[in-house]
Amino acid sequence: MPSYVGVPVIGTLGPARNGSLGVYVGTPDEALRAQVLELVAPWADPERLRGVDSGRKAAVGKLLANLALAISAQGLREALALGEATGTSAEETLDMLGSTGLAFIAGMKGAFVRGERTTEGGDFTANAIAKDARLMIDTVGDAERPGSDLPALRGALASLDAEIGAEHGEHDFSTILLPGAEPTTP
């Protein structure tokens, strides 16, 4: 009997070409999971290739990755604002973040911040990550665990929505990091 296999990926065309995608392979069928893990391995970073026991868990893995990405980008947005308010250039801020938990996002999105890349025709659009953020917020609903109100994600979504409202929804979500990005309302 055929079995559903969920195989969401984390990354864009560049990582796919470099064989460095994050990939979740989810199915309760262990033999099928092993077969699909082998099939997708050429496009996956071995450190980021995960087999899980259901398609649902694979989808959750992707949402967790996108949650971390969205809130890290929001953290970088706020770090850049703090840097600017203290007379620290964007380049200096990016450099100083190299020794922090924001190092990954600063490295990944630095080219956008420095103006070396445009956000037009984005790798991962503001619309796409905002859609996932809304799904995460709806999924958590009215859970009672501390943090279930997802305040960091809501902050990131406010920044994304401001850019979407300014007709930058099809731009790379790094649009929230640019000096001319739209402000959010409290």
- 155-175 residue pLDDT tens: 999 999 999 999 999 999 999
Q: Say what the pTM is.
A: 0.89
- Which of the following CATH numbers is that of domain 59-177: 3.40.190.10, 3.40.50.620, 1.10.1040.10, 1.10.3720.10? 1.10.1040.10
Q: Any idea where the domains of the chain sit in the sequence?
A: 9-53, 59-177
Q: Phi-psi region for residue 3, left (φ > 0), alpha (ψ -120 to 50) or beta?
A: beta
C-alpha to C-alpha distance for 103 and 96, rounded to whole angstroms: 9
C-alpha to C-alpha distance for 152 and 101, rounded to whole angstroms: 15
C-alpha to C-alpha distance for 127 and 110, rounded to whole angstroms: 21
- 1-56 residue pLDDT tens: 467 899 999 988 788 888 999 999 999 999 999 999 999 999 999 999 999 999 99
